[in-house]
Structure 1
Amino acid sequence: MKIAIAGAGAVGRSIARELLANGHHVLLIDKDERKVRYERIPDAEWLLADACEVSSLEDAHLDEFEVVIGATGDDKVNLVVSLLAKTEFSIRRVVARINHPANEWLFTEAWGVDVAVSTPRVLAALVEEAVSVGDVVRLFSLREGQANLIEVTLPIGAPCAGLPLGDLDLPLDAALVAIVRGSRVITPTPDEPLEPGDELLFVALPEAEPAIRKAVCAA
């Protein structure tokens, strides 16, 4: 897959290394000469240019890429890159980094953003996930927050412990996508029995979250 990353700072470079390790073709774009250091990631393609200018993106042949990531430390830049990628080059998947939580409301499809990643929110979710048992923790928002990836850890003594998944009264707008049990990742099936300490990962609409908690922890 061909992936372009706007922003060659620490975040952009880290993303690039991960993607290259997974076999993807990566282009790093940055207008700061101090950040465009080819020797840092020799396997990546580099472009010294302003990603907010259409001419620069045309020089990069952005229309040949499947994914664009706005990974700079400036929310305004990430929004402009996202909008240009989607409207001018019809990029199939646009991912944008949110640096300041107050700007989250801007990172929507109206600005060309398919997936918005808020660093503060992700860090907060990871902290909550580490300490919360028996409560719903939002890990990630999908499609402008229309749905969320959430996690519920089954507490000791939960009434549903020992019951098969098929017995749970889950809401319609929720899908259990995986069970993390110790070092194992289990594909949910109706006959799979629940165990205390199971981490249940759901994709669900926000309004379904109270019903999930009730079904899992207070059934």
Structure 2
Amino acid sequence: MLSTVDLAYPFRGRWLTQNSPASRVPSHGTALFASSFAIDFVPVNEAGRTAPITFGSLLRPEPAERFPGFGRPILAPVHGLVVAVHDTAPDHQAFRGLPSVGYALTQRRRAAAGWVELAGNHVMIQTPDGVVMAVCHLQHRSVQVQLGQRVRVGEPLGHCGNSGNSTEPHVHLQAIDRSDVVHACAVPITFGGRLPDNGEIIDAV
């Protein structure tokens, strides 16, 4: 098994790095479901910002469509075989400010329901080396590939959504050593040989 898998960025445009293993491991604060080296990318506008924060957004949930990256194309970060597809989870509202506190209190329930509940809509790609890449939180009914299909780097997988365990539209990537997430081990990832840090703005072309 490879010690690290090198990826292409699964998007174009401007994105913000969050929850990166460049800053801490486990990157998401837990090793549950082999997420130790997972990384999140949040789509932002040309100024490097997500949806503007208003007084209302601090008090109530917001439509996912209000965020600049909702619906942006998500691309294959590796060559490989599609070994799992999930496309039926709804996109829920985004949660910032006080609503994010209430949403956080429901996270244990989602984790108890299993990895699919956390990942939302997703595609899993197995590389020729046996590593499985999970691309998660895709938009409802946006997945453009099928189980058993072979994909190349840069091919469309779907669109950025807000499904699963997500407080605002973003894409979650993690590499694992098998498609059975419950029993998998996390595999470290890099992008072009390096790992972006938390808060770094990525301009992908």
TM over 0.5: no
Larger Rg: 1
Indicate the structure whose relative CO is greater, using CA pairs within 8 Å and at least 6 residues apart: 2
